[in-house]
Structure 1
Amino acid sequence: MEPTSITERAERILHDAASTLMTPTAGECLACFVARQLDEFGCDGTHRFASHYRDSVAPRATALLARLSAMGACCCDCEMFMNTYQPATRLWTQAHEFVDSDDCDAWAEPAPPDTMPPCETTRRGSTQPCANWERVSRSRYR
């Protein structure tokens, strides 16, 4: 048996680390997984994370990309959060009045959370978002 080279061991370590990062956690929903991956790796202009989720968790969801496209995420993963899903209203900061640096009264609009809470999970094989996400309301007629 030939000993493994340092290069092969390094490649194995990198492969294992990438697999760990790219694997949806147990019960993790599509939206939480894609948001986590986008935070970690950014968008490359494709549906690579949604496709990876489908292949790993919900292989029977063959129409997932068509459904996302119909909801407004036609070209890439980041469009899911521009046009399709947003953090649930209960997670947003409340609108409030405050005094600004010039001692004037000011109004802060509701805002989404800076970081999302842990995924509230979905059933195995589902491509629906967990309770942390809501559909973005879109006008049918533009």
Structure 2
Amino acid sequence: MDAELREISEAMTRPRPHECVACYVYRMLEFGCDGHRWVSRYRELSAPRATALERRLAGKGGYCDCELFMNVFFASPRFFKTNDDGDVVEQPMPGCRGVWGGSSKACDLWVGRDEYRWAYPY
């Protein structure tokens, strides 16, 4: 039974093929935030050469997995519906747009802080 649970847990928390770090962490936050737990797992399994990933994200204000979506990655207005204030309207999460294997970048669903300010200049 324990082995089966571990196997299921492993399968549920494994990055999907070509899934970007932002989509993966966003999906994993359903299981909670505990530091850079999900970023680290992504790096270990999908981008092992990105040894400074956690440090790079922290340098942009993402000191834990959930802070990534407050300070680092923002929903792109090209793919997410927003209200007049620029807040994302409740909707199904689009599928990850994909990245090359080994990449530690976000896909086109997400924009960085500077791009977000340009898209929502209020």
- Aligning the two structures, in what range does the TM-score lie when normalised by the shorter sequence? 0.7 to 0.9
Structure 1: runs of 5 or more not aligned:
1-9, 96-107
Q: Residue type of the partner of 2:105?
A: Q
- Give the corresponding residue for 1:11: 2
* Cα deviations by residue, 1:1-23 (Å, 9 ceiling, x for unpaired): xxxxxxxxx11210111011110
Matches within 5 A, 1:49-64: 49-64=38-53
| Residue correspondences, number | 115
Q: TM-score, normalised by structure 1?
A: 0.74
**Structure index of larger Rg:** 1
Q: Describe how 1:102-121 pairs up with structure 2 within 5 A.
A: 108-114=84-90, 115-121=92-98
Superposition deviation, residue 89 in structure 1: 1.2
Q: Does 1:88 align with 2:88?
A: no
Distance 2:21 2:97 in 1: 11
Question: Partner of 2:105: helix, strand, or coil?
Answer: coil
State the structure with bigger RCO (CA 8 A, min sep 6), 1 or 2.
Answer: 2
Give the TM-score, by structure 2 length: 0.86
Distance 1:109 1:72 in 2: 22
Which blocks of at least 5 consecutive residues in structure 2 are unaligned?
118-122
2:31 is aligned with what amino acid?
F
Kindly, what percent of the aligned residue pairs are identical? 38
1:132 paired to 2:109:
yes
One-letter amino acid of the counterpart of residue 134, structure 1: V
The answer (yes or no) to whether the contact 1:30–1:129 under 8 Å persists in 2 is: yes
Structure (1/2) with the larger strand percentage: 1
Secondary structure in 2 aligned to 1:127? coil
Runs of 4+ in 1 over 4 A off after TM superposition: none
Find the aligned partners of 1:136 and 1:13 in 2 and give their Cα distance: 41
Q: CA RMSD in A?
A: 1.8
Deviation at 1:116, TM superposition (A): 2.0
